[in-house]
């Protein structure tokens, strides 16, 4: 073997990707197939979402590789969880010595991995950099800000995210890549466009589902698990139910536990189901009369699907989604009166079915190309090696 030729082979970039939650799995589901064509990836799952309904089933549904390391660091307070992840991630990074550590979004897993990498002087590559709700009471907001100031590569999904970074003095290493979740939603849309998909979902869930005949709800944020908030939004949902329009809540296990602690029960017209897989969740959004959520991911999925969406937060980091929604996406916080007004404006019961059928038939959702753009940036690290 000619050793001189062997040494001349181009360096193949090696990255460690760290995830831990259901939304991160969705994003990596769009990124990983493209990334692994050009980059060697070590895949780490912190276990921040350890429930199979929340995360476990997503590995098979999205065709993700099994993690190289599973840390089992879910549960506990923010401090306990982040500390456990830091302790577990550091020796992995020492062992693997990657060219970059890829972190996704705004979770405790993201923060822990970024801190561990930065302290080892390993480049941090932040997917979804620059998002800001401008509300420091939100734990995810603090994570985003810290990680962006640690990162060397910042993959911004929107022009506003780029502007937010610039306003904080962050310009080096910033790339406008588009949104990974848009890539995945566009890929899945053809398989859920026909409303007959609801028949199979309804049969599995033991209920009748018709286009425009229900509201799809997800609520998971820590702020909405406080006693006063729980009482407020359960009352809000009760006021949204109408004859011919059931309210279906895909209930996060943490939210369920908080409701149980307070002894709060849902009123008539509200049906609780387990968290659903990605394809089912997207289909139930597309064919709903409207979506009600405090999730950033569901908010932007609803925006791409052009479904009316009420956001149970005073603000959202997805400013473009609000601005381009034509009034379909509204942050109502926990104001029940406003929520009922906006829903009756956006999806009146007599028109809901026709609106839902027209929406699914005409929707034209294109890929953003985010997976390719991010992979190109990471693969280019080989030139600097």
Residue 55: per-residue pLDDT: 55
Same structural domain for residues 135 and 230? no
Same structural domain for residues 213 and 84? no
- Tell me, what CATH number does 227's domain have? 3.40.50.2000
CB 216 within 8 A of CB 301: no
Give the residue numbers spanning the domain of 130. Answer: 3-179+368-384
Same structural domain for residues 104 and 246? no
Same structural domain for residues 341 and 378? no
**Catalytic one among 220, 252, 287, 319?**
220
Q: What's the Cα-to-Cα distance from 204 to each of 51, 69, 154, 199, 274, rounded to whole Å?
A: 20, 33, 41, 9, 12
Query: Measuring CA to CA, which residue among 259, 257, 254, 222 is closest to residue 237?
Result: 259
Same structural domain for residues 40 and 148? yes
Residue 75: per-residue pLDDT: 73
Of residues 382 and 79, more confidently modeled: 79
Same structural domain for residues 343 and 215? yes
The total number of structural domains that make up the chain = 2
Statement: residue 2 has pLDDT above 60:
no
Residue 7: per-residue pLDDT: 46
Query: Measuring CA to CA, which residue among 372, 282, 359, 295 is closest to residue 326?
Result: 359
Mind listing the pLDDT tens digit for each residue in 60-85? 788 899 999 999 887 778 899 999 99
Task: Please report where in the chains the tokens 């599995």 appear, as a residue.
Answer: 204
CB 95 within 8 A of CB 73: no
Mind listing the pLDDT tens digit for each residue in 221-256? 889 999 999 999 999 999 999 888 999 999 998 899
Structure token pair of residue 168: 């904080």
Residue 88: per-residue pLDDT: 96
CB 34 within 8 A of CB 6: no
Whether 220 is catalytic is yes
Same structural domain for residues 264 and 195? yes
Quote the radius of gyration of the chain (alpha carbons, Å). Answer: 21
Same structural domain for residues 291 and 222? yes
Which residue stretches of the chain are H helix? 3-7, 22-35, 57-61, 78-96, 108-119, 139-150, 159-167, 180-192, 197-205, 227-240, 253-262, 278-286, 296-305, 319-323, 336-346, 349-362, 370-379, 381-384
Same structural domain for residues 51 and 193? no
Same structural domain for residues 380 and 355? no
Same structural domain for residues 139 and 200? no
Same structural domain for residues 188 and 172? no
């Amino acid at each position: 073997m000619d050793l001189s030729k062997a040494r001349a082979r181009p360096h193949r970039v090696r990255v460690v990707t760290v995830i831990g939650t259901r939304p991160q799995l969705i994003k990596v589901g769009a990124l990983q197939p493209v990334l692994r064509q050009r980059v060697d990836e070590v895949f780490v799952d912190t276990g921040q979402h350890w429930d199979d309904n929340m995360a476990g089933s997503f590995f098979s549904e999205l065709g993700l590789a099994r993690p190289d390391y599973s840390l089992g660091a879910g549960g506990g307070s923010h401090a306990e969880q982040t500390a456990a992840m830091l302790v577990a991630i550091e020796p992995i990074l020492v062992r693997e010595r990657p060219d970059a550590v890829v972190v996704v979004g705004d979770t405790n897993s993201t923060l822990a991995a970024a801190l561990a990498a930065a302290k080892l002087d390993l480049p941090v590559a932040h997917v979804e950099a620059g998002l800001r709700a401008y509300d420091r009471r939100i734990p995810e907001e603090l994570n985003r800000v810290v990680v962006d100031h640690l990162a060397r590569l910042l993959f911004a999904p929107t022009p506003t995210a780029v502007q937010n970074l610039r306003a904080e003095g962050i310009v080096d290493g910033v790339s406008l890549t588009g949104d990974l979740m848009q890539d995945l939603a566009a890929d899945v849309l053809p398989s859920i466009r026909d409303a007959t998909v609801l028949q199979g979902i309804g049969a599995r869930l033991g209920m009748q589902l018709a286009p425009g005949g229900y509201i799809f709800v997800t609520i998971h944020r820590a702020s909405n698990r406080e006693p006063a908030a729980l009482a407020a939004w359960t009352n809000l949902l009760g006021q949204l139910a109408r004859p011919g329009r059931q309210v279906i809540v895909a209930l996060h296990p943490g939210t369920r536990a908080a409701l149980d602690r307070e002894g709060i029960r849902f009123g008539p017209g509200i049906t609780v189901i387990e968290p659903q897989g990605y394809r089912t969740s997207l289909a139930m959004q597309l064919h709903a009369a409207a979506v009600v959520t405090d999730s950033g991911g569901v908010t932007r999925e609803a925006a791409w699907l052009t479904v009316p969406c009420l956001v149970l937060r005073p603000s959202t980091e997805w400013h473009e989604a609000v601005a381009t929604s034509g009034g379909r996406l509204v942050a109502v916080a926990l104001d029940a009166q406003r929520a009922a007004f906006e829903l009756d404006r956006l999806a009146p019961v007599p028109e809901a079915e026709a609106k839902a059928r027209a929406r699914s038939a005409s929707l034209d959702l294109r890929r953003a190309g985010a997976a390719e753009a991010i992979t190109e940036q990471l693969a280019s690290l080989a030139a600097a090696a």
